[in-house]
């Protein structure tokens, strides 16, 4: 006759093995998320630095070019020069905004690798059931 205590270790062992596998999978996914989060942070910092540098140098160039142009045309066509510069800068701003939105649309989705791995895990779980 089999005693109830001899059946429990088999079930307990199965539960422990299952829990260990589940926790291992969760641990892997959390590590993947942390790596992707670190990559996203570094990418964001790089983008911020590049944008800041471009804005600073662009503003300096535009400011001095505008001052020079208005100074040269002060007596003959200062209003035309100011109006033309305003239209030029407005057009450049719209062009930059459109190009930047296209750039953002082409960026990979954050945590794409983690989401893909979770989908694979769910597919594996569904097919084994």
Q: Residue 91: its pLDDT value, please?
A: 92
80-106, pLDDT tens digit by residue? 888 888 898 899 889 989 998 998 888
The span from the CA of 103 to the CA of 67, in Å, is: 32
The DSSP code sequence of 46-93 is HHHHHHHHHHHHHHHHHHHHHHHHHHHTHHHHHHHHHHHHHHHHHHHH
23-79, pLDDT tens digit by residue? 888 888 888 888 888 988 999 999 999 999 999 998 998 889 888 888 888 889 888
CA distances in angstroms from 60 to 48, 63, 74, 77, 88, listed in the order given: 18, 5, 21, 23, 16
Q: Residue 36: its pLDDT value, please?
A: 85
Domain boundary assignment for the chain: 4-128
Q: Half-sphere exposure of 81 toward its Cβ, with a 13 Å CA cutoff?
A: 14
């Amino acid at each position: 006759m089999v005693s109830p205590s001899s059946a429990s270790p088999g079930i307990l062992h199965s539960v422990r093995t299952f829990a260990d596998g589940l926790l291992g999978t969760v641990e892997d996914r959390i590590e993947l998320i942390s790596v992707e989060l670190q990559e996203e942070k570094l990418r964001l910092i790089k983008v911020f630095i590049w944008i800041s540098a471009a804005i600073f140098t662009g503003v300096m160039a535009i400011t001095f070019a505008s001052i020079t142009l208005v100074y040269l045309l002060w007596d003959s066509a200062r209003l035309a020069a100011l109006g033309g510069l305003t239209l030029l800068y407005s057009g450049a701003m719209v062009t930059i905004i459109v190009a930047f939105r296209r750039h953002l649309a082409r960026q990979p989705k954050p945590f794409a690798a983690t989401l893909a791995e979770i989908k694979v895990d769910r597919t594996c779980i569904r097919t084994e059931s």
